[in-house]
Amino acid sequence: MTPKEIGPFRCPRCGATTWGNLKHCLECGQALDEECEYCGVTWRYFYDYAYCPECGKRVKSKRTGTTIQ
Ligand SMILES: [Zn+2]
Ligand SMILES: [Zn+2]
C-alpha cells in the first residue's frame, strides 16, 4: 500500500478530513479501521468492503445499521 492510495478522506462519524495513515479521527476519535468480528483482520473503512477480504463473512453492518445475520 502506497501513500498515494490512502489520501485524504472523511471521517464516517463527524465528517472531518482525515488521511490514510491515521488509525482514529483527530476530531472525534472514530476508528478508521474496520475489524472483522470473525477473524480479526482489519482494513481501512473507506474501502467499504461488504465482505471480509480474509474470511469472506458478511461484515458490513455497523455504519449502515442494516445488519444481516
Ligand atoms: Zn471524526
Ligand atoms: Zn474475517
Q: Which ligand is nearest to the CA of 37?
A: 2
Distance CA 13, CA 39 (A): 25
Q: State the total domains in the chain.
A: 1
Measured from the Cβ of residue 9, the count of other Cβ atoms closer than 10 Å reads 15
Q: What angle do CA 44, 35, 38 make, to 5 degrees?
A: 145
Distance 42 CA to ligand 2 centre (A): 8
Total-model pTM? 0.62
Ligand nearest to the CA of 36: 2
pLDDT in tens, 14-27: 999 998 788 899 99
Residue range of the domain that includes 67 = 1-69
Dump pLDDT digits (tens) for 26-65: 999 999 988 899 999 998 888 888 999 999 999 876 555 4
User: Looking at the CA of 26, which ligand is closest?
Assistant: 1
